[in-house]
Amino acid sequence: MQALRNLKTIRGLLLFLLLCWPTLANAEIWVFFRSDIPLHVDTVEFLKSKTDQKLVFCPVGKTSFSFLESHPPQFAVVLGDAALQLALQMVWKVKILVALVDQPPTDPRVMFLNTHQPCVLQIKLLKALKPDLKTIWSPFVTERFAPCRKIESLAEETGVKIDIFRLSNPRELPGAMRVLSQPNTAVMIPPDPGIMNNAIIQSIFLASFRSQTPVVSFSESLVKQGAVFAHVLTPLNLATSLGEIINEALNKGQSLPSARSFERWELILNTTVLEKFKLQVPDEIKKSATRLY
């Protein structure tokens, strides 16, 4: 009798496992990223502690199409354009959380976390530091880093004009930077690889110091070089936001919005340069900063 009961128990356990197998097999979060980009690697590392779900890493160039076809994940996370192209090859109808891309595809599976530079925050902070601000000079090389019409309109609502300049030839830079000599002007540097040439950056900072024109950037390293402030995206904060959305999505399913904006920007202030430019920094702004230089 005892052997029969044991046999029934084993059969029951096997039946339970068979019934639950699809759920267990799907209980994975696939994370697509590029292993040669430090921001991606660090974000993935921090993501491990931001969710209790099983993470399966799918680096670009090391993830086969046969794996993508093998079984569906429960959810997918994508960092960057190359990883997005890989993830979209999945045939499964699962939600794909996408970050660090310029423009999300129209694929209905995609949930977009917008990590574009927070231009509205930057303009508001500039106005707080420099109330008489009238013009923001915005140079760029690559078209996708040009300020959009929406940003121009929002700036106009605060009485600020965006002076857009496309740098197609470095020889044009000295003439274009004459705008910095005009009063009530500031510079906004986008995360454009074409601008991130040492000669270009140093020329902009030199002109900025001569005319005491504040420069806004996107990285802490540029703040150290002389930018007055930057709103910085860190791997830890990005992983925290991704983890929250993953947990929400698995609990709420289809009720989540298809797009939202990243909000955990860290403010880095260069109070030394601000003081040299005779710009007063309110205490509440100093307190909101992660680091001061």
The 10s digit of each residue's pLDDT in 156-197 is 888 999 999 999 988 899 999 999 999 899 999 999 999 998
186 and 204 share one domain: yes
Same domain, 103 and 31: yes
Q: In the prediction, which pLDDT does 256 show? A: 80
* Any domain includes 166: yes
Q: Is the pLDDT of residue 253 over 70?
A: no
Q: Please answer whether residues 105 and 84 qualify as being in contact, where contact means their C-beta atoms are separated by less than 8 angstroms.
A: yes
**105 falls within a domain:** yes
- Asked if residue 5 has pLDDT above 70, the reply is no
The answer to whether 28 and 56 have CB atoms below 8 angstroms apart is yes
The gap from C-alpha 35 to its chain's centroid, in whole angstroms, comes to 17
Q: Which candidate, 75, 26, 33, places its Cα nearest to that of 243?
A: 75
β-pairing verdict for 229-232 and 266-269: antiparallel
Q: Do the domain assignments include residue 10?
A: no
DSSP per-residue codes, 113-168: EE-S--HHHHHHHHHHH-TT--EEEEEESSGGGSPPHHHHHHHHHTT-EEEEEE-S
**Closest by Cα among 128, 102, 153 to 214:** 128
Q: Is the same domain home to 129 and 164?
A: yes
Say whether both 189 and 207 belong to one domain: yes
Q: Would you say residue 15 lies in a domain?
A: no
Task: Tell me the C-alpha distance between 271 and 273, whole Å.
Answer: 6
Query: 84: domain range?
Result: 26-115+237-261
* pLDDT bucket at 71, cuts 50 / 70 / 90: very high
257 with 270, same domain: the answer is no
Helix axes of 119-129 and 149-157: crossing angle, nearest 10 degrees: 30
Q: Are residues 60 and 127 in the same domain?
A: no
What is the domain count for the chain?
Answer: 2
Mean pLDDT of the residues in the chain: 89
One domain for residues 137 and 272:
yes
Tell me the pLDDT tens digit for each residue of 210-252: 999 999 999 999 999 999 999 999 999 999 999 999 999 888 7
Give yes or no: residues 154 and 83 share one domain: no
Same domain, 93 and 225: no
The answer to whether residue 34 sits within a structural domain is yes
Q: What is the torsional sign of CA 189, 195, 198, 202?
A: negative
Whether 225 is in a domain gets the answer yes
Residue 27 has pLDDT above 90, yes or no: no
Domain shared by 150 and 32, yes or no:
no
85 and 147 part of one domain = no
Cα 58 from chain centre: 20
Does 25 have pLDDT greater than 80?
Answer: no
104 and 210, same structural domain?
no
Instruction: Tell me what the mean pLDDT of segment 125-136 comes to.
Output: 95
Instruction: Write the CATH number for 33.
Output: 3.40.50.2300
Residue 64 lies in a domain: yes
Higher pLDDT, residue 122 or 153: 122
178: in domain: yes
Considering only 40-54, 123-137, 143-157, which range has the smallest mean pLDDT?
Answer: 143-157
